[in-house]
Amino acid sequence: MIQTTKMASGQQWVLVEMVQAFYEAPAYHLILEGILILWIIRLLFSKTYKLQERSDLTEKEKEELIEEWQPEPLVPAVSNDHPSLNYDVVTGPPSHKITVNGKECINFASFNFLGLLDNERVKQKALASLKKYGVGTCGPRGFYGTFDVHLELEERLAKFMKTEEAIIYSYGFATIASAIPAYSKRGDIVFVDEAACFSIQKGLQASRSFIKYFKHNDMEDLERLLKEQELEDQKNPRKARVTRRFIVVEGLYMNTSDICPLPELVKLKYKYKVRIFLEESMSFGVLGEHGRGVTEHFGVSIDDIDLISANMENAVASIGGFCCGRSFVIDHQRLSGQGYCFSASLPPMLASAAIEALNIMEEDPEIFTILREKCKHAHKALQDIPGLKVVGEAFAPALHLQLEHSTGSRESDVRTLRSIIDYCLDRQIALTQARYLDKEERFLPPPSIRVVVTVEQTEEEIEKATSCIREAALARLE
């Protein structure tokens, strides 16, 4: 009895307190509470609606829809004479003398810049590695797929490029395409040159960042974009403090064969606080006194570049690719580079071949000078061909020959160039067209013939090739 009365008085006491608080509360507080209560009542009684409008179909209607639906064919039909369908078949090794479609020709088409595809020492090292390790690695790097050869190759590459660390990938295309998304995520900003190659474009697509293209090699355009971004940052400094910025350029561009202005880029880097990723597939083993690429060519300190990526399929004449730079940057890819963590490692015999190629490059730095001389010679010889113009730097080993006057339709241009190549193949000069995916490229380069200069070609052979191309142009371009 006593307890209940105590409780009742307790309750009453609370009620008195409430009424007192009600009188003492400021007016705005009461009005606010009143509005909230009215809003809640409104919400409770309003009609509910579903987020997605789902019309209520009967089972029979659903079955009919399922019956009626016809998908497109899995792939559109490809006509038999599609230019990309019929490959040229190479029988035998793709070295200096190459047998294409049954004809023995001099090779002006493979990226064999230093002539190492056919080198006996490289082959013997690969053979020795095969006898020790077999062919495949049967696992990714994390699960017993790391061989001592891989570690040795990474050390040697880091030493060669004078960086702290290097990381190797088993596929050249996947190197830069896995490196970019490891650092640049959603919300970050990447400034890319328009002439960037396809693997860079795929890496950018996978990263989901904001991509801003600047005109090819145009530093003023890049500076304009950077200034615009600076203005944006001032409007929202909190966001700017966590948005990473990158510039992605190539040393020697594959699509246009010219060189990027690296010193100006480094100046812009420190002025606007952007990191530089440099893709050196075409310039590694070509430019620079010792073949270290475009940084050595310009005398830029290698620490100024955050990441250098290159594939080992051109000058190094093996398979795969590598990234090098400071440990702070490179070590991150060991856990977040998709092509590194989720893919089997490079077969050890190919890694041994790459190590031997590096040995040859270190022993004999003269070959780079010889290569550049031959490139200049070829570049000069290819000038003044009626109807074709040479695109590319004088010291670039992979040049493009484009039509001076396009017919207007890409298909007929491609056919014309193909006829020139066929003419040359008949006269034992192996050339090829530069291939692109027409619908997938962002800035599709014009059709062109790829002419590759290698260290193994003699002056006579280069002369022969250029006169052959001249004849072909005269014959097929009227």
Candidates 343, 328, 410, 361; CA nearest to 83 is: 410
Stretch that binds another protein, among 284-292, 325-333, 388-396, 461-469 (CB under 8 A): 325-333
Among 31, 151, 370, 474, binds another protein (CB under 8 A): 151
Residue with tokens 């002369």: 463
Stretch that binds another protein, among 20-28, 134-142, 220-228, 371-379 (CB under 8 A): 134-142
Whole-number Å distance between alpha carbons of 161 and 369: 18
Asked if 168 is part of the footprint of another protein (rule: CB under 8 A), the reply reads no
Residue 318 vs 416, nearer CB to another protein: 318
Number of residues forming the site for another protein (CB under 8 A):
119
Cα separations in angstroms, 342 against 137, 325, 339:
13, 22, 6
CB of 139 to another protein, least distance (A): 5
Residue 282: strand, helix, or coil = coil
Among 9, 327, 369, 412, binds another protein (CB under 8 A): 327
Whole-number Å distance between alpha carbons of 171 and 30: 70
Whole-number Å distance between alpha carbons of 141 and 421: 43
CB of 68 to another protein, least distance (A): 9
Among 10, 34, 93, 187, binds another protein (CB under 8 A): 93
Asked if 175 is part of the footprint of another protein (rule: CB under 8 A), the reply reads no
Sign of CA dihedral 106, 111, 112, 118: negative
Q: How far apart are the first and last CA of the chain?
A: 118
As beta bridge partners, residue 100 has 90, 103
Among 29, 42, 47, 82, binds another protein (CB under 8 A): 82
CB of 448 to another protein, least distance (A): 12
Sign of CA dihedral 380, 104, 369, 265: positive
Whole-number Å distance between alpha carbons of 115 and 314: 10
Q: Binding string, 256-295, against another protein, x = CB under 8 A?
A: --------------x--x-x--------------------
Residue 244 vs 476, nearer CB to another protein: 244
CB of 408 to another protein, least distance (A): 23
Stretch that binds another protein, among 28-36, 62-70, 388-396, 467-475 (CB under 8 A): 62-70
Sort 419 into a burial class: Cβ within 10 Å, 0-12 / 13-18 / 19+. Answer: middle
Cα 396 to chain centroid distance, Å, stands at 20
Site for another protein in 361-420 (CB under 8 A): none
Asked if 95 is part of the footprint of another protein (rule: CB under 8 A), the reply reads yes
Residue 220: strand, helix, or coil = helix
Asked if 173 is part of the footprint of another protein (rule: CB under 8 A), the reply reads yes
Asked if 146 is part of the footprint of another protein (rule: CB under 8 A), the reply reads yes
Residue 34 vs 93, nearer CB to another protein: 93
